[in-house]
């Protein structure tokens, strides 16, 4: 039976609004009218492109039982002065009534993947009692939405926080109030806005400011900014746990490739050792798994069960999902990494492509990395060694911003150029052959997810 999230009276108490059109009880919350399900609350968020109030009628037609609005509408609603502020107040109320354990996750790379792996581990330990962030909604609207969707009976919640500028995570973590705050890694994502790697580390370390009393900070060992993060954590955390290599508290004693292409790992934790397999491929997933286990141990959940969850975890859409697709009477492998990209994640996924030893050829469809500022050309060109080391046979580079990479390769790899995702799909369809392994990766705004969708939908020979 679906748990009621909010009654109209509770929404009024949280937001200071007033009910009109009749009382209601909602089992879900969304600000996207396309997501509305029967019994949900629709939050009519203002926007720069569209105003949610224009979609209230559509939301009610889709099954919404009520709306959160700043002007009267037809149908049951709670009227407030400021919808965005009201959603934040609803998030605060949701966090206040939840008595379980909250884990906050941030980082330059891997935060969504780590969040999903943590959810899988905890949900296997305590089925049906774990809440997590909606999709990758991790900003000033996504975090309040994720909190407002949190059932009051949740025993665990795993909430992701992102940022583009200093001060943003500080605001979000005070809403989330985590018992455990985890930073996955520090990389050059968002350097355009923050100016230096030290500033990026400081911005990520803001997550510790929201820690609950006796909270635990989990910090990556394998970063030049490790001591900087630890120093920031000491101001707020009762305990600090490091993960990764070297002298980390949680580390891999050894890790080897497993038969399924993932990894077989023996990890040393604070109070035990654990041998487990990871379904996901790549050394970066070994590091992700150590972060997950550090958090699982910190909240007192079952580490062995977490290991089983890591073994069973499938690929995430846009973050390593693997498709076996038809081409000219055979099949090729398409690796979907289209959701996002920065220098660290580009290097990690190219390395994984190079480890596809059964591939006849390795093809990479790469688009630009965003938010790199005046370092963009330099950082794109710096991908050349990773491309060469991965034994990439052919590249399709999407957009003019990828020219520095082509210039840096200086003819070492065959390169085709495409203006957009559709042109890249057409090029890929012409060259892909049975046995090929194809990596697709770019920042989300480039839209290479459309290429993946098209290749999945249509056989290569028909495009």
Assigned domain for 91 exists: no
The answer to whether the CB of 306 falls within 8 A of the CB of 293 is yes
**108 is known to lie in a ligand binding site:** yes
User: CA-to-CA distance for 181 and 164, rounded, in angstroms?
Assistant: 19
**Model confidence pLDDT, tens digit, residues 278-304:** 988 888 899 999 999 999 999 999 999
Mean pLDDT to the nearest integer, 230-252: 97
Structural domain contains residue 88: no
Last residue of a domain, one of 253, 287, 312: 312
128 labeled part of a ligand binding site: no
Residue 184 dihedral angles phi and psi, to the nearest 5°: -75, -50
- Flag whether pLDDT at 214 surpasses 60: yes
Per-residue pLDDT, averaged over 127-134, amounts to 94
Same domain, 67 and 21: yes
- Contact yes or no for 59/36 (Cβ under 8 A): yes
**Mean residue pLDDT across the chain:** 94
Task: List 441's β-bridge partners, or say none.
Answer: 337, 366
pLDDT of 191 higher than 90: no
Domain assignment present for 1: no
Q: What are phi and psi of 182, to 5 degrees?
A: -120, 130
Residue 383's pLDDT is: 96
| pLDDT for 458 | 87
> Could you say which DSSP state residue 213 is in?
T
Q: Are 12 and 18 in contact (CB under 8 A)?
A: yes
How big is the chain, counted in residues?
463
Q: Binning pLDDT at 50, 70 and 90, where does residue 174 land?
A: very high
Judge whether 145 and 265 are in contact, CB under 8 Å.
no
pLDDT attached to residue 317: 80
In angstroms, the CA 422 to CA 450 distance is: 8
Q: List residues bridging with 255 in a β-sheet.
A: 265
What tokens does 66 get?
A: 């009520």
**Predicted confidence band of residue 190 (pLDDT cuts 50, 70, 90):** low
User: Does 348 share its domain with 238?
Assistant: no
Domain end point (choices 312, 335, 364): 312
Q: What is the pLDDT of residue 49?
A: 80
How many distinct structural domains can be found in the chain?
3
Last residue of a domain, one of 312, 340, 370: 312
Q: Is residue 147 located within the same domain as residue 248?
A: yes
The answer to whether 18 is a known ligand-binding residue is no
CATH number at residue 112: 3.40.1190.10
Q: How far is CA 119 from CA 107, 156, 249, in A?
A: 17, 9, 22
Q: Which band of pLDDT confidence, cut at 50, 70 and 90, is reported for residue 175?
A: very high
The pTM of the full predicted model, rounded to 2 decimals, is 0.82
User: What is the arithmetic mean of pLDDT over 64-85?
Assistant: 97
Same domain flag for 241 and 126? yes
Quote the Cα angle for 188-192-198, to 5°: 50
Q: What is the CATH number of the domain that holds 455?
A: 3.90.190.20
Whether 134 has a binding-site annotation, put simply, is no
Chain CA centroid to CA 435, Å: 30
Residue 164 — pLDDT band, cuts 50, 70, 90? confident
CATH code of the domain containing 51:
3.40.1390.10
Residues 21 and 45 in one domain: yes
Please write the tens of the pLDDT for every residue from 311-353: 998 777 888 889 999 998 899 999 999 988 889 889 989 999 9
357 and 248 part of one domain: no
So what's the pLDDT on residue 325?
A: 95
Say if residue 132 is in the same domain as residue 251. yes
* pLDDT at residue 51, as a whole number: 93
The candidate with the shortest Cα–Cα distance to 318, out of 165, 446, 138, 157, is: 446
Residue 60, domain member (yes or no) = yes
Query: Is 232 a domain residue?
Result: yes
Query: What is the phi/psi pair of residue 43, to 5°?
Result: -100, 115
Q: What is the mean pLDDT of residues 71-84?
A: 97
The single residue listed with the structure tokens 């028909």 is 462
411 known member of a binding site: no
pLDDT at 187 over 90: no
Residues 167 and 308 in one domain: yes
pLDDT band at 1 (very low <50, low <70, confident <90, very high): low
Question: pLDDT for 396-449, tens place per residue?
Answer: 999 999 999 999 999 999 999 999 999 999 999 999 999 999 999 999 889 999
351: annotated binding-site residue? no
Residues 234 and 294 in one domain: yes
Q: Would you place residue 135 in the very low, low, confident or very high pLDDT band (cuts 50, 70, 90)? A: confident
In a domain, 90, yes or no: no
Spatial separation of the C-alpha atoms in residues 203 and 281, rounded to whole Å? 29
Residue 111, marked binder:
yes
- Position 410 in a domain: yes
Share of the chain above pLDDT 70, in %: 99
Biggest CA-to-CA distance, the chain: 69
Residue 247 lies in a domain: yes
- Within this chain, do residues 70 and 120 fall inside the same structural domain, yes or no? no
159 shares a domain with 54: no
Asked whether residue 279 falls in the same domain as residue 149, the answer is yes
For the cut 90, the answer to whether the pLDDT of residue 462 exceeds it is no
Domain range for 396: 321-462
């Amino acid at each position: 039976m679906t748990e009621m999230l909010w009654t109209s009276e509770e929404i009024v108490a949280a937001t200071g609004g007033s009910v009109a059109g009749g009382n209601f009880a909602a089992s879900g919350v969304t600000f996207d009218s396309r997501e509305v399900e029967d019994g949900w609350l629709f939050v009519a968020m203002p926007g720069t492109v569209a105003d949610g109030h224009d979609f209230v009628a559509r939301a009610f037609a889709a099954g919404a039982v009520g709306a959160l609005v700043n002007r009267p509408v037809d149908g049951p609603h709670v009227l407030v002065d400021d919808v965005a502020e009201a959603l934040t107040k609803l998030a605060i109320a949701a966090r206040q009534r939840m008595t379980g354990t909250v884990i906050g996750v941030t980082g330059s790379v891997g935060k969504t993947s780590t969040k999903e792996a943590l959810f899988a581990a905890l949900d296997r330990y305590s089925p049906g009692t774990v809440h997590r962030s909606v999709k990758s909604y991790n900003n000033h609207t996504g975090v309040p939405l994720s909190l407002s969707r949190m059932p009051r009976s949740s025993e665990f919640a795993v909430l992701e926080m992102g940022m583009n500028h200093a001060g943003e995570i500080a605001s979000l973590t005070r809403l989330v109030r985590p018992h455990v705050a985890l930073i996955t890694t520090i990389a050059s994502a968002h350097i355009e806005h923050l100016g230096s790697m030290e500033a990026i580390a400081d911005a990520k370390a803001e997550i510790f400011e929201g820690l609950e009393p006796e909270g635990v900070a989990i910090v990556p060992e394998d970063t030049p900014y490790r001591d900087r993060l630890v120093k920031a954590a000491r101001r707020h955390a009762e305990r600090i746990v490091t993960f990764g290599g070297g002298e980390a508290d949680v580390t891999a004693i050894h890790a080897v490739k497993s038969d399924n292409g993932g990894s077989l790992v023996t990890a040393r934790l604070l109070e035990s050792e654990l041998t487990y397999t990871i379904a996901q491929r790549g050394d970066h997933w070994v590091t992700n798994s150590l972060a997950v286990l550090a958090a699982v141990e910190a909240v007192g959940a079952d580490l062995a069960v977490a290991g089983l969850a890591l073994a069973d975890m499938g690929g995430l859409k846009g973050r390593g999902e693997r498709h076996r697709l038809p081409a000219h009477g055979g099949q090729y492998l398409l690796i979907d990494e289209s959701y996002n990209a920065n220098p660290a994640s580009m290097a990690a996924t190219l390395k994984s492509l190079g480890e596809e030893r059964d591939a006849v050829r390795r093809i990479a469809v790469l688009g630009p990395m965003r938010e790199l500022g005046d370092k963009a050309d330099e950082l794109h060109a710096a991908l050349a060694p990773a491309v060469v080391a991965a034994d990439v046979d052919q590249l399709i580079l999407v957009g003019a911003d990828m020219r520095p990479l082509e210039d840096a390769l200086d003819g070492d790899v065959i390169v085709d150029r495409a203006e957009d995702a559709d042109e890249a799909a057409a090029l890929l369809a012409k060259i892909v052959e049975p046995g090929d392994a194809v990596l697709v990766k770019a920042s989300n705004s480039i839209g290479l997810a459309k290429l993946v969708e098209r290749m999945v939908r249509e056989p290569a020979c028909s495009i």
